[in-house]
Amino acid sequence: MNNENIENNKEIITSNIFDDFGQDSNLIEEVDRLKKEGSRDKFYYISKWAYVLQTIFWFSVLIYIALYSYIYIQKNENIKDSSMLDPLCFIFLWGIINEDTYCSSISSLNTTYANKSAELKNAQAKSIMDILEQLYKVENFSESKEVIFLWDKSKNKLKVLEILEKFDSLKNSFVEIDKAKVQCSSLVIDSSSKTLSMNCVAFSAWYEKWLKWFDAKLQSDVRGTSISLANSFLNYITKTSRDFIIIDRQKIFKLDSVVWDETDFTNKTNFTLKLKYNL
pLDDT tens-place values along the chain, 279 residues long: 455 554 555 454 455 555 554 455 565 666 666 556 555 566 667 777 888 888 898 999 899 888 888 888 888 888 787 777 777 777 777 777 777 777 888 788 888 888 888 888 888 888 888 787 777 666 666 566 655 665 665 565 667 888 889 999 999 888 877 788 899 999 998 888 889 999 999 998 876 666 777 676 766 566 778 898 899 899 999 989 999 999 989 999 999 988 766 667 888 999 999 999 987
pLDDT at 274: 95
The one-letter amino acid code at 188 reads V
- Confidence (pTM): 0.45
Tell me if 78 sits within 8 A of 108, measured CB to CB. yes
**229: which residues sit within 8 A by CB, 6+ positions away?**
181, 182, 202, 203, 204, 208, 211, 269
Paired with 184 in beta bridges are 200
Buried/exposed code over 8-44 (b: 16+ C-beta within 10 A; e: otherwise) = eeeeeeeeeeeeeeeeeeeeeeeeeeeeeeeeeeeee
β-strand pairing of 218-224 with 208-212? antiparallel
Buried/exposed code over 139-172 (b: 16+ C-beta within 10 A; e: otherwise) = eeeeeeeeeeeeeeeeeeeeeeeebeebbeebbe
Secondary structure (3-state) at 212:
strand
Residue among 213, 123, 212, 131 nearest 174 (CA): 212
What structural domains does the chain harbor? 1-75 (no CATH), 160-277 (3.30.70)
CA distance 37 to 32: 9
pLDDT at 135: 72
Strand boundaries in 191-243, DSSP class E: 195-204, 208-212, 218-224
Residue 53 exposure: Cα atoms within 13 Å on the Cβ side: 6
